[in-house]
Every structure is written in structure tokens, then in C-alpha cells.
């Protein structure tokens, strides 16, 4: 099926500060159109107007959740998320907190939250 929305229609519902190339926007709209076509292929009760609106919002979501969210560093108060490059230390990827005697990633049995907050 044909693409239902234009780049401008998608940009109209997004923040004005978003910088997206025409090529990137076309890729996002094409992906959204394909999803909408596949999901609603056999549903004759959905109107063309609704399909267009779904495609527009899904396209905007794709842009906002990928291209527009590529921040190098985020900070809220004293909490911050380091740049991706900062996660590499000594040639190894450090993305977690080391807990003694935990090799499978399940530290639940090693951490006692109840004792830390004085819950009987």
C-alpha cells in the first residue's frame, strides 16, 4: 500500500527543534507505513483517515525514540548517564555493579533491601 503521510505532517506533531534529514524521515515513514499495512491488512473496519493518523504518530514515535533521543550525555540533578565511550574502561565494557559471588547476573539473592531500610 502507498505511504499516507508526508514529512511535514509528521514534523507538525513533533518538537520544533528536531533535526531530521529527508532521507531519515522517509525511512521512518516507510517503516511505520509497513507496520500499519501489516497490522491492519485484513481489517476493513479501519478507515483510511485512521490509518493515516496511526501512520503519522507511529512515524513521529520512530523519529523521537531513535534519532531525536541520541543524546551524548543526560543529567538530572546529581544523577547522570555517562557517554557511551565512558562505559569502556580498561578495554572492557562496564555496564553493571559488581557484586561478589554473582556470575549469572542475578544478584537478587545477594542483596537484602529489607535490612537496608529497616523493614522487620
The three-state (H, E, C) secondary structure of the chain, written as one string: CCCCCCHHHHHCCCCCCCCCCHHHHHHHHHHHHHHHHHHCCCCCCCCHHHHHHHHHHHHHHHHHHCHHHCCCCEEECCEEECCHHHHEECCEECCCCCCCCCCCCCCCCCCCHHHHCCCC
Name residues of the chain where pLDDT drops below 70. Answer: 1, 68-76, 78-120
Q: Is this model's pTM higher than 0.85 or not?
A: no
Proportion of the chain above pLDDT 70, given as a percent: 55
Distance CA 108, CA 14 (A): 41
pLDDT score of 106 = 55
The torsion of the CA quartet 11, 13, 15, 18, rounded to 10 degrees, works out to -20
What integer pLDDT is reported at residue 81 of this predicted model?
Answer: 60
d(CA 95, CA 84): 10
Amino acid at each position: 500500500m502507498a505511504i499516507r503521510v508526508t514529512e511535514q505532517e509528521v514534523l507538525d506533531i513533533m518538537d520544533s527543534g528536531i533535526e531530521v534529514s529527508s532521507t531519515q524521515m522517509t525511512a521512518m515513514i516507510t517503516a511505520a507505513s509497513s507496520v500499519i499495512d501489516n497490522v491492519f491488512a485484513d481489517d476493513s473496519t479501519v478507515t483510511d483517515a485512521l490509518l493515516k493518523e496511526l501512520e503519522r504518530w507511529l512515524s513521529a514515535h520512530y523519529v523521537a525514540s531513535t534519532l531525536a533521543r541520541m543524546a551524548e550525555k543526560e543529567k538530572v540533578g546529581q544523577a547522570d548517564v555517562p557517554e557511551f565511550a565512558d562505559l569502556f574502561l580498561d578495554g572492557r565494557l562496564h555496564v553493571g555493579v559488581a557484586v561478589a559471588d554473582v556470575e549469572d547476573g542475578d544478584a537478587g539473592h545477594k542483596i537484602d533491601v529489607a535490612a537496608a531500610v529497616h523493614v522487620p
